[in-house]
Each structure stands twice: as C-alpha cells, then as structure tokens.
Amino acid sequence: MLNHFKTTMTIPLQKAQTGRMYKVVTVSGTDVQAQRIRELGVVLGAELIVLRRHPFGGPLEIQLATRKIGIRLGSVHVVVEPVAENPEPLQGSVH
Amino acid sequence: MTSGKTVALVGTPNVGKSTLFNALTGLRQRVGNFPGVTVEPMVGTVVTPEGSINLIDLPGVYSLDPASEDERLTIETLQGKHHSIPRPDAVLLVISSVDLEKCLALYAALSSLNIPVLCCLTMVDALKAGGGMIDDIGMGHELGVTIIPVVGSKGLGIQDVKHALAQPLRIPRAPDIGDSVESRLKWAQGLVSRFVKPAAERALTRWLDKILLHPVWGTLVFISVMYFFFQSIFAWAEPLMELVENSFGWLQTWVGTMDMHPLLASFLSNGIIGGVGSLLVFLPQILILNLLITILEESGYLARGAFLVDRAMGVFGLQGRSFIPLLGSFACAIPGIMAARVIPSYRDRIATIMAAPLMTCSARLPVYVLIIAAVIPNTTIAGVFSLQGTVLAGLYVLGAISGLLIALVLKRTALRGSVVPFMIEFPEYRLPSLKNIGTVLFSRARDFVVATFTVIMGFSVVLWIFTQLPQATIPEGTSEVQAQHIQLEQSYAADIGKAIQPFFEPLGFDWRITIGVLTSYGARETFVSTMGQMYAADVADTDSSLRSILPEKFSLATGLSLLVYYVYALQCISTIIVMRRETATWKWPALAFAITFVLAYALSALTYALAG
C-alpha cells in the first residue's frame, strides 16, 4: 500500500515542476555516468529545484543547495519526489 | 639550487585551477613531453627561494573513479600507475570557497592515497563579496593539512604557496568514512556547515541568468555575442594580418635590392622570409580568438553559452562546448583546434577537432571569390539574391554540414562510447584577470610557433626549390610579372604538375590548376598567386587582370569541381601539425587527411561529371 503510494508520487527528474523542491529517490544508469551525476551532488536524498527546462529535450537548469548546474541526463535516470506540499514557488529564494 | 621536487596540481573542474597554475609558474610553462599520453598535461616551473619545483597541471577530477581518458590520466598518475608520468612527490589541491563540498569530497578520496597534500583555497574574494565567511585555519586544523587562501588573479597568497611547496608537506589522515560518493559528500557537508558561512547568491548573477539562460532571450543574446565574436576576429585580425604581410613583403623587396647572387636573393626572400611570414600571418587570428575565448570563459559566460547550444550540437553527437572551437574555425582552423582544449571529454574533443578543418576558414575565401567570379555569372535569383553570393554562402553551408556529419559518423564509429552526460556548472559572473589572459595568449602563440616552425620552413624551402629551379634565363627588360611566369613554366614544379595532372584529369584540372592545388598545401590562398604567375597576370585585390583572364581559362564544370575540392581537402600543413600537437598522435591528422581527400576527390569528380 505504502509502496504503491510512493510510486505514484515519484516522477522522473525531467517531468519535475519548475520552481518546486524535490528530493532525489534514485539515480540509476551505467556505473560511470550515474557516478558522475552523483559526484556533482545529485545523490540519494539531495534536495533540488529545477529552475528551467529547456525545450526540445534540452538540458535542465538545476539549483542544488548554493550551486547552479546545467545537466543533460543522457541515459541516466534520476527519480525524484516532491519534498512538501509547499504551494509557494521557491524559485530563486534558496540560500 | 633545484630541489627536483615534482608536485601535481589537482582539483575539480571550475575551481580556478588554471588561473592558479598561471600565477604560480608565469611564463615558465611548457607542454609535458610524456610518451604515449593522449592528453598532454602542462608542466610549469615554480621558482622559490628554496629551489625550483616542477608543477604538473593534471586534468580536473571529482573522485578516484575516472569517467573519461583525461580523468584516468590524473588518477593513474596520482596512484603511481601511469606508464610514463612518474608519481608526484606531493599534491597541490585547489579547493574553492564557493563550492567547497565538491572539493572536500575530492580531498576525502585523495587522502586514501598516502601522498602529501597542500591545499590552496581559491575564490575567497567571491565568497566574501557575497557576505560569506570561512574559517580556513580551523578547517585546516581539523583536517590536519595546511590550507592557504589565494587570489590567483591578484597574486595574493602566491608567495605563501611557493614557500609552503618547498617545505616538507604532511600526508593527510584519511577521514573514517565509507568509500561511497554519498558518504564523502555527507562528510564534506558536515565540515562546510561547521567552518563556512555561505554567501548569498549574488543578485547580479541571479538577475543576469534570468535573461542569459532564458530559452528565447538567452538564445538571442547568445547569437548577438557570437555575431560580435565572429566579426571581431575578422575586423581586428585583418589589419594585423596585412601588417604582417606588408612587413614581410617590404623585407623581401629590401633583400632584392642587396648586392648578391640572384639565386641567393631569391632563396632568402621567397624561401626563408616568405616561410617565416606565412607562419606569423596566423598569429593575429590565434591571439584574437584566444583573447575572446579567455574573456568569455573567465567571465563565466562560456558555461552559459555552451549550455544554450548543447541541444543543437547534440544532433551531431557533439556537446555545447564544441560550439566555440567550431565557430572560431571559420576564421582559421588552427586557433579553433587549440580552443578545443576547453572540452573536457576526450571523445568530444577529438570529434570537434576532426570537424574543425571543414569549417570555411578565411584562407579559402580568396580562392572562392576568384573562382566564383570566373565561372558563376553575375546575375540575380528572383531579382533579389546575387547568384555569386548564393554560391558563396552555399560553400560555407556545405563545409559546415559536412564537418558536422564527419563528427557524427566518428561519434557513431571510431569514437563510440557511453554517452557521458553533459554537465556544466555555472560559476558566478566575474571580471577576467588581465594577467591571466596575457599568460594564456603568450603560451598559445608560443605553442603554435614551436609546433609548426620546422615544418613550415621546410615546406617553404621545398616549394622554393621546385618553383625557382632550374633557373630560367629571363631576357632583359621583361616585366616582373612576365619573369615570374617564365620561371614557373620552366621550373620542376611545372614538370611535376604535368606528371601528376592525369591523376586530376577526372576532376577537370589541367596541369596549371594541379600546381595551384599542390602549392596550396602551404596555405590555401597561395592558389591565387600561383594562378597569377601561371597566367602572367597581376593579382591586385579589386580589378586584377587575373579576374579578366580566368573566365576564358576555366570552364563552369572545372570551376565548380575546383570549388568542391577546396571545400573538402585538408590543404593546410599548419592545421595538420596543430592536430598532431593537440591530439598527441599522427592517427587523427592522418585520418582527417584521408577522409577529406577521398571526399574532395570523389565529390569533385562527381561535380565535374554532372556539370560537364
């Protein structure tokens, strides 16, 4: 029951709503690629905000703690879940 | 005096590592000469009162698990497993105050290597500007390592680092944490929360990024910046190139007035001075392109531009950072290929370098203009577009698309590998440091001259021998243009041209064009002057007599075939040498030469057959 609830809440990072805080649930892919994404700080439990999603499957602009990174996931799958029911958009207000 | 110590400069990408390397070594840097290394690291000498130290600038890494060839080199060197780079005596680890978690995670990984470490803390000024603070002494105490804050661009702390490097350094004790990315980052976060008060994101950066990273406005700004970038290369380089050409032309005339054997005078003026001139004429474009790229990179904009253009480059199997080297190649492939150093992935860098020579460089332009004027009628399409202009634009597009397709095919075949995800960190915007720019420009110019000098001079001398020998007897009172014509007609080059010409028969080239094509290998624009000598015509820029003669000499089919040949053929020895220099192997320049030659030959023959 709980599992079912969880899977409906989690979404791929590409589908994340912009300006909202998410928590990373899984990072999967071939070892080297997933490793690199994790080394940049997109690790299990990390909280992030998608600032902007570029059109036509372009890269994502992500705020990760105090850092801002651009990322094209390639074949790496990052799954996230929303952190809290926070209706306020958080864009640009994170320190 | 020398302590003979070797120290490796290590850090994650974007922490100010190269600025620090320049500040520590100044102009005492050279490309490391390690046999069989694909990515040659720079080696510099740090002069300290206690003796000099070798500093190796190793490619950036995040951990001890390599994701690319470049990272493997760093890691194997640090582990003492590299086949030709000896294990360094110590590590100078660059850590950035504004991005400390990532840097400390690397520190944690390095501390398991049992090698002495000195930490250099960069971007303290940026942290403080944002209202942040760091207790570097307390953190150093906790870690058991010396941490020296520096501002590389202003030279602050540099003397302290030099002094500390000369002293015996401590081996850090490894923190008692697991060996996973997560555990290292968690440990780093703990340290940062204790010793650092983070900076607020600078309002300027946030405000600028809202516009500069916007899919629409950001793209428009990017196109404008690139337009300015491209224009500047031409607008600034042209007068300088003319200056170089005129100075060497003046030198040649001066040698001609001296009292010596005409053969010696000709050798000095055409063989030696002409050779040095054809080398130095590349320098303005190399300097200007590198100046603009360094400003874009240091200011923080290059990362944003690469991000915006990433999707479009992805279509051709390339990435965002490939864009600037390719754009620069429209001026000259040499600085373009050198600029490919900004691409961190080995495969993407090679693919970009292989595509670069097909971008229409400024040396092709005089050839295109000459041939188009000769064979394409000066009419308009639909009453608006000049047919000649359209053909010229078409040649640019043909070259660009072909280059990108070659990159795509290589990425699918020889350079196939796992798609490294594209990641780029956006640094704060900041003003570039003049001192660092100066160091970069000087070392790039020196790299080029050192790499190409022998070959260009050799080619120039060989070309002189074939075009000026055996010496023809010139009757008294012959004009200079006529004299050059007689000399060339009777030279070895003419014999060779006639002997090789059957090979180029299917392309519609006669023996004169064949010589023009062969002499182009020194520099493509030589074709224009060779044609001038062939037809005893002057080649002044605007209303040259060559332009009025050529339409009678070239058929439409020959002209088109020749244009296609110049689009594809890699007729530039300097480019080949620089490709060898930047890839550290003959494999890639040889492959580029072979691919482009086959394409040039086959497509020119096809064009000649269809148009004939």
A39 and B63 in contact by Cβ < 8 A? yes
Task: In whole angstroms, give the CA distance from residue B455 to residue B573.
Answer: 8
The pLDDT assigned to B2 comes to: 47
The pLDDT assigned to B348 comes to: 86
The pLDDT assigned to B9 comes to: 95
Contact (Cβ atoms closer than 8 angstroms) between residue B38 and residue B120: no
CB-closest option in A39, A52, A74 to B419: A74
Side-chain half-sphere of B528: how many Cα atoms within 13 Å?
22
**Minimum CA–CA partner of A45 in chain B:** B182
The 3-state DSSP class for residue A74 equals coil
**Minimum CA–CA partner of B200 in chain A:** A95
**Minimum CA–CA partner of B68 in chain A:** A32
Alpha-carbon distance B99 to nearest alpha carbon in chain A (angstroms): 7
Residues 61-80 of A with CB under 8 A from B: 61, 65-76
B-interface mutation test, from A14, A23, A52, A72, most B Cβ less than 10 A away: A72
The pLDDT assigned to B56 comes to: 92
Which stretches of chain B drop beneath a pLDDT of 50?
1-2, 541-543
Task: In whole angstroms, give the CA distance from residue B157 to residue B134.
Answer: 16
**Minimum CA–CA partner of A44 in chain B:** B182
A73 and B214 in contact by Cβ < 8 A? no
Q: Which residues contact A47 (CB under 8 A, 6 or more apart)?
A: A21, A22, A23, A24, A65, A83
Side-chain half-sphere of B105: how many Cα atoms within 13 Å?
25
> Looking at the complex, does the CB of residue A47 fall below 8 Å from at least one CB of chain B?
no
> Of B483, B464, B482, whose CA–CA distance to B472 is shortest?
B483
Contact (Cβ atoms closer than 8 angstroms) between residue B532 and residue B366: no
B310 and A55 in contact by Cβ < 8 A? no
Alpha-carbon distance B152 to nearest alpha carbon in chain A (angstroms): 22
C-alpha distances in angstroms, B329 versus B91, B335, B401?
37, 7, 14
> Of B517, B234, B170, B247, whose CA–CA distance to B371 is shortest?
B517
* Sign of the dihedral through C-alpha B174, B176, B181, B186: negative
Q: In what order do the strands lie in the sheet with B51-57?
A: B29-31, B42-48, B51-57, B5-11, B90-96, B117-122, B147-149
Alpha-carbon distance B177 to nearest alpha carbon in chain A (angstroms): 16
Contact (Cβ atoms closer than 8 angstroms) between residue B428 and residue B298: no
A74 and B420 in contact by Cβ < 8 A? yes
Alpha-carbon distance A10 to nearest alpha carbon in chain B (angstroms): 21
The pLDDT assigned to B546 comes to: 72
* The pLDDT of residue A91 is above 70: no
- How would you classify residue A63: left for phi > 0, otherwise alpha for psi between -120 and 50, otherwise beta? beta
A41 and B200 in contact by Cβ < 8 A? no
CB-closest option in A36, A94, A95 to B62: A36
Name the amino acid, one letter, at B137: I
On the 0-12 / 13-18 / 19+ scale of CB atoms within 10 A, B606 is middle
On the 0-12 / 13-18 / 19+ scale of CB atoms within 10 A, B133 is middle
Task: In whole angstroms, give the CA distance from residue A67 to residue B424.
Answer: 11
Between strands B90-96 and B5-11, the pairing is parallel
B423 and A70 in contact by Cβ < 8 A? yes
Place of tokens 């192997």: B585
B419 and A33 in contact by Cβ < 8 A? yes
Report the pLDDT averaged over residues A54-83: 82
What residues of chain B lie within 8 A of the CB of A90, using their CB? none
What residues of chain B lie within 8 A of the CB of A45, using their CB? 182
B426 and A44 in contact by Cβ < 8 A? no
The 3-state DSSP class for residue B334 equals helix
Side-chain half-sphere of A1: how many Cα atoms within 13 Å?
0
B43-50 long-range contacts (CB < 8 A, ≥24 apart) are B46/B7, B46/B162, B46/B165, B47/B162, B48/B162, B48/B163, B48/B165, B48/B166, B49/B163, B49/B166, B50/B3, B50/B163, B50/B166, B50/B167
This prediction has a pTM of 0.77
Tokens of B169: 């350094």
DSSP summary character for residue B156:
B
CB-closest option in A32, A54, A65 to B418: A32
> Of A38, A45, A30, whose CA–CA distance to A76 is shortest?
A30
Name the amino acid, one letter, at B530: T
pLDDT in tens, B466-489: 888 887 777 777 777 777 778 888
Alpha-carbon distance B62 to nearest alpha carbon in chain A (angstroms): 6
Task: In whole angstroms, give the CA distance from residue B85 to residue B40.
Answer: 10
B421 and A33 in contact by Cβ < 8 A? yes
> Of B95, B101, B85, B100, whose CA–CA distance to B118 is shortest?
B95
Tell me the three-class secondary structure of B393-441, residue by residue.
HHHHHHHHHHHHHHHHHHHHCCCCCCCCCEEEECCCCCCCCHHHHHHHH
Query: Which residues of B sit within 8 Å Cβ distance of A?
Result: 62-63, 65-67, 98-99, 101-102, 105, 181-182, 185, 198-201, 206, 209, 213-215, 303, 307-308, 310-311, 314, 418-426
* The pLDDT of residue A94 is above 50: no
